[in-house]
A and B are shown apart, each in its own frame.
Chain A
Amino acid sequence: MDGNLWRAASNSPTLRYPSCDINYQGSGMLIGESLPIPVMFADDIYFQSFCYSGSPAFMSGTLYDIPATYLESVVADWNMFLALDGSCSGSFKFGIFPMIVSFTTNFIITFTLTVLIFLSMNDKPYVYASRLLKIGSLISTVNLAISLSNLINLLRHQYEKYGILGKFYMVQFFELNATFVTLDFLSTFILQCCQTFILMRIFERKKEQKVIFFVGITLAIVSNLLWAVPRYHEIVHGISVKDENNNWELLPPFVYMFKIIIAASYACLIINFIIRKRHQCFKTAQLTLLTLLTILVILLLPGFFIADLASFWIYEFSELFNTTFYVSCTFVVWEWLERLSIIQKREQAQSILGRAIYEDEQQNYTFAKYTLKVQDALTRKVSSSTFSSDEITKSSNIKDYPTSNKSDESYMSKLHLSTTKTIRVRTSTSEVEEGDDVDSGDPLAPTDDIRDIQSINQVHFNTERSYKDIAHSTFDNTVNNVVYFSDKIGKTLGSYSFGSSSKSSSDSKKEKNEVKRRIGLDMTNKVYVYSTKDVEFDSDLENDTDT
């Protein structure tokens, strides 16, 4: 639709067709039902041919058995119209049929993708992104459905009124329909936000995610607002912003290029990611195909720009393809990432931490805090049991310090050691938590124990759960149980799936193995250390120094 976004108006609309004006034809015979007499002779006949938005219209049906032809001037104009070059010509490719075909194709693609999105996307763990993508794709489908029905209506109206199929009003529809513009604005914005979330998924570091979030959302807002403002201006005032000598004139081509730049940047980042992960991306045949499809899809919009430059006929429909482009290059990339992440998770699951940890995440020492708390909890439990028991040997304390067991220390020294250890750990924890100093001379104060337990609890139950949460979780559990049992019942009855009744135990074993393989439990003997640095806790250091 935006063929004339940046293109200067070509000469064709200014071309006057003589047959569109009133022409003197001389005398002759008139035949027609609408005449006062069906057949009459007239001395002075003035004839004006029907023109559709300044261009000649021609009946595509063949006239049989009527010894009458079109007037010479009309035929000449029609031939001139066909011979023209550009979007205003009468050639087939700039006609209404390619437009209808591409529009319905777009609708079907978008509809299919939306159905796929609703079927295959899980809400977790990326709740906002998946919900936004669902909303965005739904809006685009609804938008295309409404537009399609409106277009068909328009076409019918045109056909009934003038008996022709022209595309002029169709093109106008996309520019002047407030519903289309609003829904298009919403869906594009939402899908661009989803693309930002996808990029955030690709870059795992927190700092980079923050930058991507702010930059991406800002770009999405700016580009869509700049796109929407001239459109609404056009709708409200009825003045085309694409006319020259208009204050808004520069905005549409600017936004047009801006959107292409955003799409090109997105494509650059995804291709960069593909190059970085090329070993994983081309691991299986299926993933290779999906990777190629991803590359193809993200390069669609820049490709349309080149088509536009080359005056390829398809540039007329770039706006129509935009919606499909945004939906597909969000969903296809998402699906590809999902499959890729399974491979990545499988590799990471065989490491100790289960995923890559970056130094950015050490900003607030979350892991250190957590580790200290867990360690603190363990030692506290151990030491309190040591002090409460009167037995000298076989306390769990010894188990905790295997090196001290071998040395020839007395029990008192062991006790002293454990006490100092407890103090040290607790001090560090309390400083992490509250920053106050604890008197190390009184390690066995009862308040410490209580506080300690609280601090352990805070790790897991930091805040008191509200009644709403409890009710919600209870409801969730109930629903889950019901679903689980109904599932089981269904399976045992054999009506749930076709093959479930004949499912042998080997199948379930196979499934189990599949799941085991997926989460990386099939090779339990092989343990990979993911981090290159050794993890050392204070207690280890101390044990080293003690021995």
Chain B
Amino acid sequence: MRSILTTEQVLLILSLGVAVSHVFPAISTPVTHITLARFMDFTYGVWGWCYTRRLPTKLVLCTKRSIGYKYLSTHMYGDILFIPSQSKYSISRLLVVHIIALFNSAVLAIMTAMIAGTTYGDSSQFVLAAALVSLPLFVFSLFCFLVDILLFATHLDWPGWLMLMDTVVMAFVCSLLWSLRRTVSIRNYETLHASQRYPMNQYPLHRTVQQSEPTNTAPLEEPVSSYKTDNH
């Protein structure tokens, strides 16, 4: 039975999904209303944090957009940062891994698109490069999740939990890419040798003994080692 999607297409879909899920933390709270975590009246994002008071009147105070949390400069309740876990505030600077992961995932998505859509998919070198790019992305996805959970404990919002899913998906994507590299490598090797080692038109099956002149065995005089293969 033929599968509906090829490996390359599955890879493209998964890596696009990972790239998209890395966008949400990058545009979190001070930028949009998406929050990385929520605790009491506080909402947290990569670029800063906000204090929301609903009663008596709705009031939203946010910090300036920068990496690493700072206190609000207002002198009122809610200007002091409160982190759900007991972490040091400086750890919030490590949230920068979300941005790194976003770029990394964008690069991987582009590479998998090229593998799925262009002839780069037949180059074992390119697939190897994509597989190498996928390794740091796995590391960064895991790092994002660890930093999030270290800062916000279990008060994570869905973009935070998405990082855990990304890590699992990335583990799958990594193994798929590395097996794709093997497949491409074997495919290249076999097509090369199928076309050059057994040229069927030069070895017709009805060949007789009289035809086996030494001059007729030209293809064999070329040694196996002289075949140009791409470097696996």
Contacts and interface: CB of A to CB of B under 8 A. Distances in A.
Contacts, number: 113
B209 A211 contact: no
B223 A427 contact: yes
B209 A547 contact: yes
Contact of B94 (A8, A254, A272): A254
Contacts of A416: 214
B212 A7 contact: no
Interface string A357-386: 001101101001100100000000000000
Nearest to A423: B214
**Chain A interface residue number, banded:** 35 or more
B189 interface: yes
Contacts of A211: 128, 132
Interface residues of B, number: 44
Contact of B175 (A205, A272, A311, A362): A272
A257 B185 contact: no
B86 A250 contact: no
A433 to B, nearest CB: 9
Majority SS at the chain A contact face? helix
Interface in B127-155: 128, 132, 135, 138-139, 142-143, 146-147, 149-150, 153
A134 B135 CA distance: 30
Contacts of A368: 224-225
Interface in B191-232: 203, 207, 209, 211-212, 214, 217, 220-221, 223-226, 229, 231-232
Contact of A215 (B88, B90, B135): B135
B139 A265 contact: yes
A542 B217 contact: yes
B226 A207 contact: no
A261 B144 CA distance: 11
B221 A428 contact: yes
Contacts of B231: 363
A305 B221 contact: no
B189 A359 contact: yes
A541 B146 contact: no
B196 to A, nearest CB: 13
B60 interface: no
Interface string A301-329: 00001000101000000000000000000
A194 B77 CA distance: 54
B185 A360 contact: yes
A305 B146 contact: yes
B89 interface: yes
B203 A541 contact: yes
